[in-house]
Structure 1
Amino acid sequence: MVLSCLMLFAASFLAATILPFSSEVILFALLREGYPPFVLLATATLGNTLGSFANYGLGRWLLHYRDRRWFYFSGEQIDKGQRWFQHYGFWVLLLAWLPVVGDALTLVAGVMKVRVWLFLLLVAIGKGLRYLTILGLSSWWPL
């Protein structure tokens, strides 16, 4: 069980970073194998939240590399994220679970120097609700 949870944690972490990855398939497979849903929810949420925190760190400390060719986000994506923050405020971090846009939002949160505790709280709530929804919907999926 520990190895499976570590695999889910790693997949969830990578899925939240700027690297293209998905954790839902592993979550779904472990759920079907009979792992406790609460353990899977906690593991996936923690991994995904910490992966978003890596993006936050990129935004906070590595933004001066944004003009480099290898930098993942375009200037246009960063500007769009900053506009979202200015318009909606830090509450937009509840949407950090969204594909691509969520990664940009967490990076922009670092740029905007959102308080770490607020960042972690809002991102964890959004990502936890996302995984909870996936677990709930998985009961409708045929074996």
Structure 2
Amino acid sequence: MEAWIAHAVQQLLVWMALPEIGLPAVFFIAFVSATLLPLGSEPAVFGLIKLNPELFWPAILVATVGNTLGGAVSWWMGWGAEKLYEKTTHHSPEHRVLGWLRRFGARACLLSWLPVVGDPLCAVAGWLRLPFWPCVAYMALGKFGRYVVMTSTLLWVF
């Protein structure tokens, strides 16, 4: 059984190493991981780059685009959730964290790269109806920086 699992993992890595499959897989994984689903995209990016070092910048850019688009989907989910909440309760919530986010505005989305709080932050930005395009721009900057730093560090360590 262990040999079969090892072989299956090896075949999956070979399949993901193919540039024509690896980059779309990285995009998909990065997109899904930026929604509220608990999934990390860094191992996929690192694995592809480790197997294909020449794909460093394409993989970073594809992961950034996928993760940013996933953050944009989270923003829209937050926007829709806020509209539904106000429609059903007939009032808007006021919390300390929401006040903090309002004060920082779209710039708060620069922190969307943080683990655990980053993805919900995008949804809360939509909930607060922070301007969409500035939020997306700040998301992209934060996510791009995370991928460059994390992937470079992992390549240096391993």
TM-score by length of 2: 0.76
Secondary structure at 1:96 match in 2? helix
| 1:82-101 correspondence to structure 2 within 5 Å | 82-101=98-117
CA distance in 1, matches of 2:104, 2:130: 13
| CA deviation after TM superposition for structure 1 residue 80, in Å | 5.8
Which AA in structure 2 matches 1:49? T
SS of 1:62's partner is helix
Question: How big is the alpha-carbon RMSD for the aligned residues of Structure 1 and Structure 2?
Answer: 2.2
TM-score norm. by structure 1 comes to: 0.83
Counterpart position of 2:71: 52
% identity of equivalent residues: 31
Structure having the larger proportion of residues in helix: 2
Q: Tell whether the 8 Å contact from 2:107 to 2:135 is kept in structure 1 after alignment.
A: no
Q: Which runs of 5+ in 1 are unaligned?
A: 67-77
8 Å Cα contact 1:55-1:107 kept in structure 2: yes
Aligned length: 133
Check whether the contact 2:50–2:155 (CA below 8 A) recurs between aligned residues: no
Q: Which residue of 1 aligns with 2:40?
A: 22
**Higher-RCO chain (CA-CA 8 Å, sequence separation at least 6):** 1
Is the counterpart of residue 62 in structure 1 residue 81 in structure 2? yes
Between structure 1 and structure 2, the one with the greater Rg is: 2
The aligned counterpart of 1:39 is 58
Answer with 80-89 or 123-132: which moved more: 80-89
